[in-house]
Structure 1
Amino acid sequence: MTMSVAHATDARKLDVLLPLWVGIGVYALLLAAGSGLLNDPDTYWQITLGQWMLDHHAVPRTDLYSFTMQGQPWISTQWLAQVAYALSYGIAGWAGPVVLAAASGSLAIALLARFLDQRLTRTATLVILCATLALMAGHMLARPHVLAMPVMVAWVAGLVDAMDRKGAPSFWLLSLMVLWANMHGGFVLGLALIGPIALDAIWHAPKDRQARVFVRWALFGIAALAASCITPYGWEALLASRRILSLGAALAVIGEWRPADFGHAGPLEISVLAAFAFVLWRGITLPPMRIVLVLGFVYMALGHVRNAEVLALLAPLVLAKPLGEQIGRNPERDASASPNRLLLAGIALCLVVGTVAVASLRHYTPSERSAPIAAVDALKKLNVSRVLNDYDFGGYLIWRGVPTFIDGRTELFGEKLMVDHNDASGLMKPDNLFRLLKDYRIDATFMRTESAATKLLDRIDGWEKVYSDDLATIHVRKSDATFKVNE
């Protein structure tokens, strides 16, 4: 009997470690994916800018890297994450950003697992976490949004917990808003969620407490807005986020900003349909404001595929309590079942040793598709200063110190230039290509070899192909260059 009780106690102690085991499993999976986290050209300029800030002990206020927008006002709302990536790269090379992004992504999943495990059954928690990981996989990259993920989860979890309690959130959450506002422009979503969550909490609070809850939420909202301005840029960070959302047609030319495509069955499409089927099967009902929140997350994900992670991480937080009430939840835990500190210290030590071992054995490198090394070597020998480059090469050109025509800082270049460049490189409007070559006095082009613009320049008088490989091709303008399509 005594042995049986001891085994049960040990099992409960292991059970409460579920979020930790989940986090470790995701961390190991992301480290195994390794270089896949570097498959984005923006990582190059993020690290370059972070190193510039470290060197100059300042944040940028004008464009530093393009010749088309040189000196134009521009701020980086992601400055803290960029500095973190630069520091990690300086310490461990490419393994640094990989480990940093993997640790941050796995921490976000672990925080979500902890929240769900307190409100749902173990099976439901694991199913939701698997769907979450599938939805996040496509945007799990060594970029600032990944470092902001755990902050986003912790912030929204704190708001939803207050909603579940029919009360107001702790003002200690404001420190998360300060951190989020300095790491990624997505903090605006965190501010926007205060309103609907507060309405739900106030509406369901006991009548005699509604006025008090309303006042506390109002004060919290004002304080959160003020906290979001505690950045090197103050309230300008809010305006920068608005500029991104106002890019209009330019967003459609960037893969991660495109709408979901139900013409094929990807993780997002399957997850949305599976959730819809489950609701119909089990007859799940939600309070009105939670319906609004979930529909908002779904709309964001369908509108821009990059927001699949918002749906994956935040919708479960909103759904957890009502789902637990309707499909069941884990029994209340005994506080004595908490794991001891020695065990946690041992796990932490194993993680550190394992990370060092894996990072030293694995050779992490970014995708060659975004790093035309040989082509840039050839380009720099030409000593040209005004180069029309492919959008995906912008990050690497910044890394190599070549001024760009365009790059991943979409809010800097604006809707018109982004669309014109896309139409030119794909020859949707061939005249656009020659107009850009002429208006910007382009000395050379640096485009993907398979692009339509490259193939056209191969056949145009006055543009000489001086370098080409499987990835990139360079054309140099001669004195008799043509700036229109020959009739």
Structure 2
Amino acid sequence: MTKKRFAFIAYAAVTIIAILCLFPKYSYNDPDTFWHIELGQYMIEHGSVLHHAIHTFYGDQLPYVPHEIGFQIVIATIYKIFGWTGAYALTAISLFLLVLGLYRMACVSRKEMGMEQRHSALFLLVLAVTACVYYYYFAMRPQMMSAFLIVWFFVYLREFRMAPKTGYSVLLVLLSLAVANIHTGVWLVVAVFTGMAVIEAWLEKKIDKRRALTFALVLLSGLANVGGLKSIFFIFVVTRNNFNMRIDEWQPIGFAQWVNFPRMLLLLAFVSILPFVLHRKPFRFMLMLGIVYLGVSNYKQNLFMWLFLPYFAATIVDIIPHSDKLRTQWSTRAISVCLAIGLSVNLAIAAFFPPPVDRKAYPVEEMNYILQQQSDTGRPRVLAPYGASGYVMFRGGDILCDGRQDPFITSESKGVFGWTAFERSMNGFSEYLPEIVAYDRPDYVVTRNNSSYKHFDDWVSRFGDPVFKGEYGNVFLTKGMTNSKP
């Protein structure tokens, strides 16, 4: 067997094994998935875009800025037809396109610097990055689609810089439009990349009519979303009054924690290679500043450092000892086939052994009980903890706050204690619960099993004994109570 043949077989085996190790069950059970599907189903059934919250204690009166409509409609459609297996299929497709995009990005980086595009270590780097991205971020949420869209936009942006062809122009505009309608909140990244490209072209004195028109259309296409400028600048809504800091993913990264060890290695690796990968190029310098800022800001935006590590690292892999001696015919077609094999096996596993909804993380049994008590077709008013409310809405309940910040941080949602619906949902399962129940008048209250004994005893004294106890927690009947005290 020749060395090239052996290397090809080894790469194929490593690729398939790596993909098989991305176990499907870890992409399930994210709290946001449930309300994304419910919002998507509502829009499909009513044939309109949502500009207000649904299934809440406030009826349809809370304004909502649509900023993830494309993802919600896509995942709701697939879920309606294929169930959770279809939802994982969307995950697999997104992963497939992301891997190919990351590899192409690494090759383009070397192409820019006049290097041989393919290198034996590139795809191994991409696989390592993919594994971390999957386990940290691929949880049936919009970023799994926007990630590959942004990566491919960046790839074509760099290709366009080297060869300003019409095909690249069209792809850039279409990808910008896709990001703006699938995950509008991150479209600003597309705008910033485009701005960097404009500055680069100006410095290189390469701004011509085609480039100017392409850059203008890319930026204008971002406005072609259902929420307009409000959706694009949505980030300034969720960060108002620092409400976003109550959400774990917006917290500063605890690099010293063992679960963040890969993130710490990422940061150290990224900083270590910077002196050798900027190549005195203004665009790379600007990109580096943006990626470092995003990468250390919080858990949510750390994703971008993972995504763009291959771009920077691609031009330094030649220093790996003896790597130049390993040659293989590792083409994009071969990569695609191996990815398809691994992901198909995972899809089959997800189809025949679908992961159940975690009964300890979500009130599965509790909602079964509540829905069984319904004598009509109406939706019960259920007050549940913040992280479980999206699931409650998904199952058929009306809720105080469905697991988002918007539109539940608006002045329209303020109630007892002057708290918004978001604050009542976050703070309510404490000594404040009786007052919140008296104000919001839910039919049922669902509390967690890990609530303190002091709080639980107080709730029993106010609401009576729980009418049901499940793996998640307790169900209190509060329907008809005009006062929280018995």
Query: TM-score of the superposition, structure 1-length normalised?
Result: 0.79
What is the match of residue 422 of structure 2?
A: 418
- What secondary structure sits across from 1:307 in the alignment? coil
What is the match of residue 171 of structure 1?
A: 169
What is the match of residue 372 of structure 1?
A: 363
C-alpha displacement of 1:92? 2.6
CA–CA distance in structure 2, aligned partners of residues 316 and 346 of structure 1 = 21
What is the match of residue 43 of structure 2?
A: 53
C-alpha displacement of 1:451? 2.9
Q: Which moved more, 1:168-177 or 1:107-116?
A: 168-177
Runs of at least 5 residues in structure 2 that lack an aligned partner in the other structure? 111-117, 411-419
- What secondary structure sits across from 1:411 in the alignment? coil
> What is the aligned-residue RMSD (CA, Å)?
4.0
CA–CA distance in structure 2, aligned partners of residues 352 and 264 of structure 1 = 31
| Distance verdict in 2 for CA 1:389–1:322, change over 3 Å | same
Give the counterpart letter for 2:105 in structure 1. F
Matched, 1:296 2:294: no
Give the counterpart letter for 1:123 in structure 2. A
What is the match of residue 472 of structure 1?
A: 473
Q: Contact 1:286–1:322 (CA<8 Å) still a contact in 2?
A: no
| Distance verdict in 2 for CA 1:180–1:422, change over 3 Å | same
- 1:13-24 superposed matches below 5 A: none
C-alpha displacement of 1:353? 6.8
Q: Contact 2:180–2:187 (CA<8 Å) still a contact in 1?
A: yes
Q: Deviations over 1:112-142 (max 9, x none)?
A: 1133145263225523541453244222111
- What secondary structure sits across from 2:207 in the alignment? helix
What is the match of residue 146 of structure 2?
A: 148
| Distance verdict in 2 for CA 1:380–1:222, change over 3 Å | same
What is the match of residue 260 of structure 1?
A: 253
Q: Deviations over 1:137-157 (max 9, x none)?
A: 222111222122221110022
What is the match of residue 437 of structure 1?
A: 437
Matched, 1:393 2:388: yes
C-alpha displacement of 1:462? 4.2
Q: Contact 1:168–1:201 (CA<8 Å) still a contact in 2?
A: no
- Give the total of aligned pairs: 457
**Equivalent of 2:53, from 48, 55, 63?**
63
Give the counterpart letter for 1:89 in structure 2. Y
What is the match of residue 451 of structure 2?
A: 451
What is the match of residue 199 of structure 1?
A: 199
CA–CA distance in structure 2, aligned partners of residues 117 and 340 of structure 1 = 11
| Distance verdict in 2 for CA 1:369–1:144, change over 3 Å | farther
CA–CA distance in structure 2, aligned partners of residues 370 and 97 of structure 1 = 19
Q: Contact 1:467–1:475 (CA<8 Å) still a contact in 2?
A: yes
What is the match of residue 219 of structure 2?
A: 225
C-alpha displacement of 1:106? 2.9
Matched, 1:461 2:462: yes
CA–CA distance in structure 2, aligned partners of residues 396 and 97 of structure 1 = 16
Q: Contact 1:284–1:326 (CA<8 Å) still a contact in 2?
A: no
Q: Contact 1:67–1:403 (CA<8 Å) still a contact in 2?
A: yes
C-alpha displacement of 1:330? 9.2
Q: Deviations over 1:274-306 (max 9, x none)?
A: 3334557x7976545423422322322322202
CA–CA distance in structure 2, aligned partners of residues 240 and 268 of structure 1 = 27
Matched, 1:157 2:155: yes
- What secondary structure sits across from 1:465 in the alignment? coil
| Distance verdict in 2 for CA 1:385–1:235, change over 3 Å | same
Give the counterpart letter for 2:477 in structure 1. V
Q: Which moved more, 1:446-455 or 1:80-89?
A: 446-455
C-alpha displacement of 1:100? 1.4
| Distance verdict in 2 for CA 1:48–1:111, change over 3 Å | same
What is the match of residue 182 of structure 1?
A: 181
C-alpha displacement of 1:312? 0.8
Q: Contact 1:27–1:105 (CA<8 Å) still a contact in 2?
A: no
Query: TM-score of the superposition, structure 2-length normalised?
Result: 0.79
**Equivalent of 1:316, from 275, 287, 310?**
310
What is the match of residue 270 of structure 2?
A: 275
CA–CA distance in structure 2, aligned partners of residues 98 and 76 of structure 1 = 24
Give the counterpart letter for 1:171 in structure 2. S
CA–CA distance in structure 2, aligned partners of residues 151 and 376 of structure 1 = 37
C-alpha displacement of 1:375? 0.6
What is the match of residue 126 of structure 1?
A: 124
| Distance verdict in 2 for CA 1:297–1:278, change over 3 Å | closer
- What secondary structure sits across from 1:225 in the alignment? helix
Q: Deviations over 1:385-431 (max 9, x none)?
A: 44321112112111211001111232211274423432333x4xx44
What is the match of residue 82 of structure 1?
A: 72
Q: Contact 2:463–2:485 (CA<8 Å) still a contact in 1?
A: no
Q: Which moved more, 1:401-410 or 1:256-265?
A: 256-265
| Distance verdict in 2 for CA 1:135–1:420, change over 3 Å | same
Give the counterpart letter for 2:135 in structure 1. A
Q: Deviations over 1:44-67 (max 9, x none)?
A: 222222222332332222222211
Give the counterpart letter for 1:254 in structure 2. I
- What secondary structure sits across from 2:54 in the alignment? coil
Q: Deviations over 1:66-120 (max 9, x none)?
A: 1146332224332222222223223332111112102212320221113314526
